[in-house]
Structure 1
């Protein structure tokens, strides 16, 4: 068997809009998570997002985490970059100091950053109303190549397909979306010290109109192991009336296609713990259940204000975790959110 790294999609799927889309609130988004094989540094999401019709400036998100609890964060806006790359195709997407480059669709990518970020600790950032007063320069260049077929939301089960075709869950997801596990290598300079690393990554491409009003939370985990085996899923907790919501995932055995799966036991967000939390999951497949044992290692919190001045959006925790499955061990990504009333903050 062979691995189709395109998922049957045309190469244009990895290109960005060459002109401002006419649809109001249309989004173009490129996201990636990166983790170091040694566990010394994690990037629990960096991204560029554009929202029509404001196309001269894009949103940028950078989160960097270290095992000792130090966090670097730059969530801001920056001037958009020209999208035409060396090939003459719309393959570049950037804002301010952050740029994504698609060198070859579904095959080779690069991300570069040269700027600064708020410099604080987890205990500081987990407090409501955190404001940064210290900044640190950071520079990196990361190359990554897909090694697992793309997980295209709404394609692995009839239930998920129906939810992604219309309805509240489709609004939350925000249009056409895929994610794909990769191998990564790069170099990063922090505090004037440059280090090279190898690791893994999860890239995400999303395009569409996204509406998150009323969003009640989610759990999202994914990782690829040294043998090439991998897993991933996204699940929303049941609706307020107890009825089931979106729950779709995959298991990959190192060759062939993704096997459909769903999570039956997820580590929903109930509190903020920087590292050492049991975040194991039980994944159900047509061949039976798979137990993925895991513990958190580092992560970036985002605390909803909850002061009545804005809707009660969920608290968000974007993390790197250590996963184990069938005797193999690796790092991977995790993102969880829950409504403020369901989460206990540190005293």
Structure 2
């Protein structure tokens, strides 16, 4: 019987949505989930709500559905919220139009629902920068159970209070791996009941990432209970190492490391591309093999959230983004997990 603390010592208050418009118009409240089917039939690489104080009643969502044959469905745009559900005096829901997240038990159990339209496209069309396609109605229900303590990149390098309050990218941010069950029903297709795993992210704060240099962000939960997560930025212009952090979980204990080899997106292979990682720990180096499995792609200057642009910002992203699922191998054990990467287009040699 496991004895580890699934909360990791985090204050459950950080798991609850804000619930009311913040005074600071730049303050953001966000929940996102990345979900992998245990059988590899599909992935849900990033379902997210971004609620910004200045436009509290008009929120951005991104909802990506990807298949290993290159089929992609995208639900994105700006939507009005409903009144939050209140339990015990706290808001337990964050929603926008077709997408809703709900805290059932903080740091332990969440649910996600999507009931709306998504346009159908392909990964090849996305790489070419094409947007839009025929729409289908999509219904998704997900019930999650946390399976690993939360992680905030940088939590091991500063005092705990500072790490948990500030996070890696403005304000508070933590991510937590889970197991889940659910149903995916796409209009015209047979519904899929599934078991899977995934990653949930809670982020609250003012976000200003400036001139983004690119990144690698990867995570997976294995059948044995082992898990890992990394966040790394590419080497600086002078060749020196930039920010990187990683955690490893053996089913009982979380330890930390640094990423010494990462799959920078110098080229892009949406299916079967190598996305191996090497993590340096106090006990030595850990190699985790990876191959891209299901992928979505946002070309430079194309919108990540459809027509939603907070505060009048341009909605196009400044560099190509890969959001998808990968099949990881660690000490002979395999698991599907998430991957997000970006890199300035001038550093890319093309797609494969």
When normalised by structure 2's length, the TM-score is 0.90
Residue equivalent to 1:135: 135
Residue equivalent to 1:316: 321
Q: C-alpha displacement at 1:5, in angstroms?
A: 1.6
- Residue among 195, 199, 203 paired with 2:200: 203
CA shift digits 1:116-140 (9 cap, x unpaired) = 1110111111113x12131111111
Residue equivalent to 2:184: 188
Residue equivalent to 2:58: 57
The CA distance in 1 between the partners of 2:315 and 2:84, in whole Å, is 34
- The secondary structure found in structure 2 opposite 1:53 is helix
Aligned residues: 339
Residue equivalent to 2:259: 263
Residue equivalent to 2:306: none
Gaps of 5+ in 2: 303-313
Structure 2 counterparts to residues 292-307 of structure 1, below 5 A:
292-305=288-301
Contact 2:111–2:144 under 8 Å retained in 1? yes
The answer as to 2:245 corresponding to 1:248 is: yes
CA shift digits 1:231-282 (9 cap, x unpaired) = 11100112334443221110111113x1011111101111221101011111
Q: C-alpha displacement at 1:147, in angstroms?
A: 0.6
Structure 2 counterparts to residues 271-290 of structure 1, below 5 A:
271-290=267-286
The answer as to 2:334 corresponding to 1:329 is: yes
The CA distance in 2 between the partners of 1:164 and 1:342, in whole Å, is 33
The CA distance in 2 between the partners of 1:340 and 1:219, in whole Å, is 15
The CA distance in 2 between the partners of 1:310 and 1:322, in whole Å, is 31
Q: C-alpha displacement at 1:195, in angstroms?
A: 1.4
Q: C-alpha displacement at 1:164, in angstroms?
A: 9.5
The answer as to 2:219 corresponding to 1:229 is: no
The CA distance in 2 between the partners of 1:164 and 1:239, in whole Å, is 27
Q: C-alpha displacement at 1:87, in angstroms?
A: 4.7
Residue equivalent to 1:35: 36
The answer as to 2:82 corresponding to 1:81 is: yes
Contact 2:301–2:316 under 8 Å retained in 1? no
What is the Cα-based RMSD across aligned positions, in Å? 2.4
CA shift digits 1:9-37 (9 cap, x unpaired) = 22211111122111131110101100001
The CA distance in 1 between the partners of 2:337 and 2:160, in whole Å, is 24
Contact 2:31–2:101 under 8 Å retained in 1? yes
Q: C-alpha displacement at 1:294, in angstroms?
A: 1.1
Q: C-alpha displacement at 1:97, in angstroms?
A: 0.3
The CA distance in 1 between the partners of 2:301 and 2:275, in whole Å, is 26
The CA distance in 2 between the partners of 1:74 and 1:301, in whole Å, is 14
The answer as to 2:151 corresponding to 1:151 is: yes
CA shift digits 1:152-197 (9 cap, x unpaired) = 222123599999998xx95xx2321111110011011013421100
The CA distance in 2 between the partners of 1:207 and 1:323, in whole Å, is 30
Residue equivalent to 2:305: none
Residue equivalent to 1:99: 100
Quick check: 310-319 or 33-42, which moved more? Answer: 310-319
- The secondary structure found in structure 1 opposite 2:252 is coil
Contact 1:27–1:52 under 8 Å retained in 2? yes
The CA distance in 1 between the partners of 2:211 and 2:298, in whole Å, is 17
Gaps of 5+ in 1: none
Q: C-alpha displacement at 1:293, in angstroms?
A: 0.9
- The secondary structure found in structure 2 opposite 1:156 is coil
> Residues 101 and 311 from structure 1, CA distance in 2 versus in 1: closer, same or farther, beyond 3 angstroms?
closer
